[in-house]
Amino acid sequence: MHISFLLHNAYGIGGTIRTTFNLAQTLAERHDVEIVSVFRHRDQPTMGAPAGVAMKHLVDLRRSSPGFDGDHPDYTRPATVFPRGDGRHKQYSRLTDARIAAHLGSLAADVVVGTRPGLNVHIARQTRRGPVRVGQEHLTLDSHGYRLRREIGHRYPLLDAITTVTEADARSYRSKLKLPGVRIESVPNSVPAPTVRPADAASRWIIAAGRLTSVKRYDLLVKAFSKVVAARPDWRLRIYGSGDATGNEMNALRALVEERGLHNHVFLMGPANPLEPEWVKGSIAAVTSSLESFGMTIVEAMRCGLPVVSTDCPHGPGEIIDDGVDGRLVPVGDVDAIADALLLLIEDDELRRRTGQAALAASARFDPVPIAERHEALFTELVARGEGRSRSALRDAAQHARGTLYDGAYALRYLAADVIRKGKKSS
């Protein structure tokens, strides 16, 4: 199969980029796979290009590049196809509308895969007859605002399939939206096997990692750890991650650490890449979020042999951790429960070692190969059934009836303007 992924920016850093690269690289061992990045702002992908995968881009934001698009007159005009409810809307424009339309209109692939709601809408509206259209949900339906959920409900019926990263979110899509004929499947993210030896459970460090945002509730972890220190002052906590440009969350955590007298016990480490060498320095991982769309850090810690104490928040932790076997699940927002679960593992060396080994074994199900096989099975079935061709006909008819058919003339007009503009620049 020829499989084409459409990604916001393959040259940045983020969980969606990482999991798309993992999936594309594994599929490329058996299929013709490409990643088409809407934006390109640097010469090489920050996270390293996936082996065997063709990399393309639609809008070039490298000022030193002869194809620089930042001065295109349509680059500053607001997008009309990319939905306003998607949080990336301000980065999209009439230029991206045209470039994505031209790409999808000429795409010769068996399967095209979108990786965020705004791009899934493009695929639903603009893909020509032939490819199976798959929209991936890397967050959750409930996390989107009303405007975007409305757009999803309006446009997603023209897709062939939607994949979510948890079964809980798949149930939300099935129960809250009317998507007749659209396959809705949950397929978790993949995490490759670490390149370092697993943790040995002997250290006296607890590790937490993730962006310093309010949803991660690191304040709860610091408060819980103050109770841990009261009982076991020989243990320490490291928190890895960076916050937003304001630094508000980092400053608030620093103040809380000082207020609790934990400056010798809690360390805000900043970002680390790769994180594997840091995970294995610990014996326990902690996640205290109020919401997780999946829980990549949970899987990453388990793959390094750490048991994870996590809040049982929507949607992912409960589908990853087997409570009492390879980790512990505690109520959301309960400081005492977090502290008690940490102390249970701290006080029992054999339990901590056994739980860590169980976590290491259980996390193998998130290896890229079995995860890619699940995607491959879905793609193969839809291609064999001719879903892309049959639903393209339905889509074209529906869009024509609404007077919103996005035909090739629109894209060609802008492509011609690009050729003229670049010709003037070169002369």
Percentage of the chain modeled with pLDDT above 70: 90
Radius of gyration of the chain (CA): 23
Q: Which residue, 377, 385, 392, 391, is CA-closest to 31?
A: 377
pLDDT of 245 reads: 66
Q: Give start and end residues of each alpha helix (H) in 79-188.
A: 94-105, 117-126, 146-155, 167-176
pLDDT of 130 reads: 86
For residue 236, what is the enclosing H or E element? strand 236-240
* Predicted confidence (pLDDT) at residue 197 exceeds the cutoff of 60: yes
Per-residue pLDDT tens digits for 249-267: 899 999 999 999 999 999 9
- What residue ranges define each of the domains in the chain, with the CATH number in brackets? 2-190+369-426 (3.40.50.2000), 205-366 (3.40.50.2000)
Cβ 279 vs Cβ 269: under 8 Å: no
Count of CB atoms situated within 10 Å of the CB of 66 = 9
In order of 14, 214, 254, the CA distances from 248 in angstroms are: 21, 10, 10
* Predicted confidence (pLDDT) at residue 286 exceeds the cutoff of 80: yes
Q: Give start and end residues of each alpha helix (H) in 137-234.
A: 146-155, 167-176, 218-231
- Strand ranges inside 44-126, DSSP E: 54-60, 111-114
pLDDT of 386 reads: 85
| Local structure of 308: helix, strand or coil | strand
Cβ 321 vs Cβ 345: under 8 Å: no
* Predicted confidence (pLDDT) at residue 171 exceeds the cutoff of 50: yes
The residue-averaged pLDDT of 419-426 equals 52
Phi-psi region of 52 (alpha: psi -120 to 50; beta: other; left: phi over 0): left
> 66 or 399: whose pLDDT is higher?
66
d(CA 120, CA 122): 5
pLDDT of 117 reads: 98
The residue-averaged pLDDT of 62-68 equals 96
| Local structure of 191: helix, strand or coil | coil
The residue-averaged pLDDT of 27-35 equals 98
* Predicted confidence (pLDDT) at residue 230 exceeds the cutoff of 60: yes
* Predicted confidence (pLDDT) at residue 124 exceeds the cutoff of 50: yes
The residue-averaged pLDDT of 97-102 equals 98
pLDDT grade, residue 243 (50/70/90)?
A: confident
Percentage of the chain modeled with pLDDT above 90: 85
Per-residue pLDDT tens digits for 302-357: 999 999 999 999 999 999 999 999 999 999 999 999 999 999 999 999 999 999 99
Q: Which residue, 217, 396, 379, 231, is CA-closest to 289?
A: 217
Cβ 279 vs Cβ 199: under 8 Å: yes
Cβ 254 vs Cβ 322: under 8 Å: no
The residue-averaged pLDDT of 85-100 equals 97
In order of 79, 91, 134, 207, the CA distances from 88 in angstroms are: 11, 6, 20, 31
Q: What angle do CA 51, 52, 56 make, to 5 degrees?
A: 95
pLDDT of 246 reads: 75
CB < 8 Å & 24+ apart, contacts of 259-265 = 260/222, 260/223, 260/226, 261/226, 262/222, 262/225, 262/226, 262/229, 262/237, 265/225, 265/229, 265/233, 265/235, 265/236, 265/237
| Local structure of 275: helix, strand or coil | coil
pLDDT of 358 reads: 98
The residue-averaged pLDDT of 29-40 equals 98
Cβ 285 vs Cβ 293: under 8 Å: no
d(CA 101, CA 87): 20
pLDDT of 44 reads: 96
Cα dihedral: 184, 188, 190, 194 (round 10) = -170
AA letter at 128 = R
d(CA 415, CA 103): 11
pTM of the complete model: 0.86
Q: Which residue, 71, 224, 334, 319, is CA-closest to 239?
A: 224
* Predicted confidence (pLDDT) at residue 84 exceeds the cutoff of 70: yes
